[in-house]
Structure 1
Amino acid sequence: MLKKKWNFFILNLFITLLIFFIFSKDYNLLNFINAVFYLSFFYLIVFLFMYTAKGGFFDGVTFGFRRFNTLMFKRNDYLEDWRNKPLPSEKFNASLYQRLKFQTSSMLVLLIILLVLYYTM
């Protein structure tokens, strides 16, 4: 499993290089840092959303909308019991969360290392 994480990190570096070569006008360290930031920011947003969903923040909102939908439209569909449907925190994929956590932290560490190099040079 650890090897897969590092292979995916290498893939992220290739994606970062691709972003760097496609969207940069000048090929310098600052533009590479920007490309690393774009990808790490994407990972950070997805990771924080999953962290919020894992904690059950959206469970009450989801339950309320399901109940409102059932009461307002009075569907007599007995196959679809809204109380027994799994909530977002119950449908949580823990392995994907762990992989995103590793990728987010590794990309942020790389970003910090590159920023230290940039400001000390």
Structure 2
Amino acid sequence: MAITIDDERLDAMFAALADRTRRDIVARLSEGEATVKELAAPYAMSLQAVSQHIGVLERCGLVSRSRHRQTRPCRLEPQALEAAVSWIEESRQAWAERMDRLEAHLDRLQDGQQR
């Protein structure tokens, strides 16, 4: 099975979101743009450490930075989440179908034993 660009992007995205701090940053950015300093405020870590977290989110396409005068605000790129949401939904549907088939099979087995 060949690995596609979408697979690599999903791998990077799920790896990035495996970290609580990065999930918190994504959640904060869902409320609107913020600077690194604003994103770092709730944490007992350096601005450089927060910048590294943001860099991971940038590399997988979840976050982008722009330049506005002296600042470089970060913004969430929600369309990047669409690939993950799509994958999760496809997986959910596949597992729901499997569970429905299992339940039907178990019902047939139970009906056969009750005769």
> Which structure has the highest helix share of the two?
1
Structure-1-length-normalised TM-score: 0.35
> Which structure has the highest strand share of the two?
2
